[in-house]
Structure 1
């Protein structure tokens, strides 16, 4: 445990957070930048005396539970969380669960792709961000619950009789195999996350096909570079499929684009105009 480095790191992280960031009143007589020590202690559910001793390089080695509470209170990124553990002499364990927070720069990127449909997937294949063209091409995700936005659930737990099981993708079966393999790898990365465990449990009990794939213990999958979406209003749209990994958050940006000058490019251009509105509803 490096007490002096730990003390300096905690102090620097505390001073960069404003009371408004964590829903606390600033008050008229605040003399310190950022949060007060007692406010961090309150947010971490530890005593002010104990936290003060840590910042004064006099405290005992904090437990994993205390370190996790401090990481939440100080809003540490994954790299900062690991650094905190190393300074405390406690090797970091696996992250608590898959991140669902999308960086603002990634959200801005989605908006700057007017001719491409793009979504952001969590480690468990939940659609956690999308642009307007993706909503028009695939589905209006804003109208769905979190469960319904999970593409693994969609692949294995949606009744086969339901229309557009997976947006009528040309590679539905290959996609289902791929996401089952990816989920097995994610479950190993987040062994203590209750949401991941619940998702796997639901899939094992609700889908014999998923149970068969899960029992194979396969991980990883070959990328799909092109697929066709059979849109109910426009018809078949063939798109290139490129995936950008956001490694620090264990997320993926999936970008769908059409070949320049192709009928599919014209179809995407039409979708960008009509959006998610129903074309078959009489005016």
Structure 2
């Protein structure tokens, strides 16, 4: 089947889905008078358009499967009007060609049971990230490793942003470039699913302006999938810690990832336990100063080469359902 035929089939399915959802809602459900001579068991098209704040003709075309491209903002308004639950909203965005829910909703949609699982994983460090590498949830051992990152404002808790903007003295990774290069490649792969979303394009534009090093890596167009990785960190309090990461998917959030950091060896395990009990205060000390910015300049970058990638280690957390 050609891509044109697939798009036409998806638009037809979208129209059918929207009609089925509006037909289950009565005017009384949304505070409208029932009126007379209603030929539809639920809301009329013009009523949905009115409540969602869109044009009647435009909404009619959407239900008819016309080749129009609704924005995330409009889809969100329609979803609220039709009282779609999370699964229905996800289906709506997929049929409309927007493959994920709006990024702003990722945090509010995180199942409370995920935090319970994170806490149960102690003394292993663990955290949940969005596909854009926003930090969504974490446990206490993770806090011991990255106390300043966890303490940052929610809108600043992004792993890639932190790597490129934090001063080297506050970045515990022994080789920040080797650490961040595969992350940028994974971000580039995920970006292909969010090309028209302002939250994604704005993030890339802001970080490109903030860090020439990121702009250079981004322009290489390298892509990669998540996989096991050995991270090497060094702290003044305990010295070097080596951690092996395992990535798991989270049921109900297709683009979210739960990453578990397991110590590679007994020495790293003991040092991780010490940091979990006594988080590093180095960067939060009153007299701590920064010699220079983070990974910003072209001179900070080694030549871009290739790096190995591994298959995603996937474990569905079915306990969340």
1:53-72 superposed matches below 5 A: 56=42, 59=45, 61=60, 63=62, 64=70, 67-72=75-80
1:145-200 superposed Cα distances (whole Å, 9 cap, x missing partner): 1343111111223344xx122xx223421222112212222222112222211211
1:112-131 superposed matches below 5 A: 112-131=120-139
CA RMSD of aligned residues (A): 3.7
Q: Show structure 2 runs of 5+ residues with no match.
A: 1-11, 47-59, 63-69, 286-321
1:107-157 superposed Cα distances (whole Å, 9 cap, x missing partner): 211011121111111111111111111001122544201343111111223
Distance 1:228 1:37, change over 3 A: same
TM-superposed deviation, 1:243: 1.1
Alignment pair present for 1:109 and 2:117:
yes
Alignment pair present for 1:76 and 2:85:
yes
Deviates most, 222-231 or 232-241 = 222-231
Is the contact made by 1:7 and 1:55 (CA closer than 8 Å) also made in structure 2?
A: no
Structure 2 counterpart of 1:164, from 163, 170, 181: 170
TM-superposed deviation, 1:105: 2.3
Tell me the equivalent position of 2:213: 209
Residues of 2 paired with 1:236 and 1:125: CA distance? 24
Secondary structure of residue in 2 paired with 1:228: strand
Residues of 2 paired with 1:69 and 1:6: CA distance? 13
Tell me the equivalent position of 2:67: none
Residues of 2 paired with 1:159 and 1:246: CA distance? 32
Distance 1:156 1:53, change over 3 A: farther
Secondary structure of residue in 2 paired with 1:219: coil
Tell me the equivalent position of 1:238: 242
Residues of 2 paired with 1:97 and 1:83: CA distance? 13
Residues of 2 paired with 1:57 and 1:72: CA distance? 14
Secondary structure of residue in 1 paired with 2:170: coil
Distance 1:273 1:53, change over 3 A: farther
Secondary structure of residue in 1 paired with 2:164: helix
TM-superposed deviation, 1:36: 5.7
Secondary structure of residue in 1 paired with 2:121: coil
Is the contact made by 1:135 and 1:276 (CA closer than 8 Å) also made in structure 2?
A: no
Tell me the equivalent position of 1:273: 277
Tell me the equivalent position of 1:145: 153
Q: Show structure 1 runs of 5+ residues with no match.
A: 15-31, 42-46
Tell me the equivalent position of 2:192: 188
Distance 1:169 1:4, change over 3 A: closer
Distance 1:186 1:55, change over 3 A: farther
Residues of 2 paired with 1:222 and 1:92: CA distance? 24
Secondary structure of residue in 2 paired with 1:170: coil
Residues of 1 paired with 2:138 and 2:213: CA distance? 29
Residues of 1 paired with 2:176 and 2:111: CA distance? 29
* TM-score between the two structures when normalised by the length of structure 1: 0.70
Q: How many pairs are equivalent?
A: 243
TM-superposed deviation, 1:217: 1.2
Structure 1 counterpart of 2:178, from 146, 163, 174: 174
Secondary structure of residue in 2 paired with 1:135: helix
Is the contact made by 1:38 and 1:48 (CA closer than 8 Å) also made in structure 2?
A: no
TM-superposed deviation, 1:245: 2.5
* TM-score between the two structures when normalised by the length of structure 2: 0.62
